[in-house]
Amino acid sequence: MTDAAAPSGFRRSFGLWVTQGPAVLILAILAGVVIGETPLPLSTVAAVFANRLWDAGLILDPIDAGIIWSYRLPRTLVAAGCGAGLALSGVVLQALVRNALADPYLLGVSAGAGAGAVAVTILGVGGGLLGISGGAFIGATLSFVVVAALARAAGGGSAQLVLAGIAGSQLFNALTSFLIAKSANAEQARGIMFWLLGNLSGVRWPDVMLAAPVAIIGFLICLWFARAMDAFSFGVSSAASLGVPVRQVQIVLIGAVTLMTATMVSLVGSIGFVGLVIPHAMRFIVGPRHARLVPASALAGAVFLIAADIASRMLIPGQVVPIGVVTALVGAPGFAMILVHSRRRL
């Protein structure tokens, strides 16, 4: 929160984010690459980067090089992109809906994206033209429309939206289970269930090329609308009277949330709690103003999901725990703390 020295304090903290944010992110990414079942020293990592980026021609164990470049690095980058995207989606939804419980998971967007992705994989909806991401995007959009329409029919308050989101999640999750039970063989079903719980094992470079641009574009959109999101603090009508073109801002921001959630779910399955816990934790640290909350949440979401991915690889030796399970194990107690700390804000 601002204090008496707000202007200079603001500049200083903003400057900190700009200069140290990328440094923290790079450190986290390095940790994601170094730590694993076979720990690889930083010198090997540096050599792989030198070879790949500058053709240094250093002699390396090709297996180590492969693990670093083709497996751990893309996986870590996608984790960063997903964490940032999900945390930003939470920030935006909480600002627009004015409800502390709003996040893509609770509002049913993740469930819709999952159902869309499963419909494409199992039923072949779209005849191969829609990739999994396309299916997830359509599913996410559809679930958002269904949830918003239901909330509107129920009176349009933010509590109604959260309740409608719960109903929507149940509906789309049931649809997913139904599709799996009806059409998938046992092998497919196991794979899909594993994917739905959140799983980064299959991630390769093409996935980075999707996750990174979407996360960056989403981040820039959120940053651009930071002041508009502040103006929603006292409600939609107050935002309008402060000169915010409410309808346009809502459409662009909800579009960005749908794009980010759909992309991330299609890549790694549905991961809960990031969109809920990270923005609230960051509010305690940097305050409610979005010029700081947006970069802080993007960074913290990225670092958190990289850490969760490391944990998912290391918790049980020889086995990968779904990352959604890890985020829930950390997120549920975190969420409980938020509930206790912000009784009045719900």
CB of 230 to other proteins, least distance (A): 6
Output the smallest distance, CB 345 to other proteins, in A.
4
Rounded CA gap, 252 and 217, in Å? 12
- State which residue, 230 or 309, has the beta carbon closest to other proteins: 230
Closest CA to 214 of 281, 268, 161, 283: 268
Contact, 113 vs 140, CB < 8 A?
yes
Task: Please report how close the Cβ of residue 233 comes to other proteins at its closest, in angstroms.
Answer: 5
CA distance 46 to 51: 9
The encoded tokens of residue 74 equal: 């893309």
- SS3 label, residue 129: coil
Nearer to other proteins, 180 or 246 (CB): 246
**Least separation, in Å, of the C-beta of 152 and other proteins?**
13
Give residues in contact with other proteins (CB under 8 A). Answer: 1-4, 6-7, 98-100, 224, 227-228, 230-231, 233-235, 237-238, 240-246, 283, 287-289, 344-346
The nearer residue to other proteins, 130 or 286, going by C-beta atoms, is 286
Nearest CB to other proteins, comparing residues 17 and 172: 17
Nearer to other proteins by C-beta: 88 or 244? Answer: 244
Under DSSP, is residue 151 helix (H, G, I), strand (E, B) or coil? helix
At closest approach, how far in Å is the CB of 95 from other proteins? Answer: 9
* ∠ Cα 286 287 293 (to 5°): 65
Maximum distance among all Cα pairs of the chain, rounded to whole angstroms: 67
Of residues 66 and 156, the one with the C-beta less far from other proteins = 156
Q: Kindly state the smallest distance separating residue 304's Cβ from other proteins, in Å.
A: 22
CB–CB of 74/203 below 8 Å?
yes
Reported residue count of the chain is 346
Tokens of 32: 């994601």
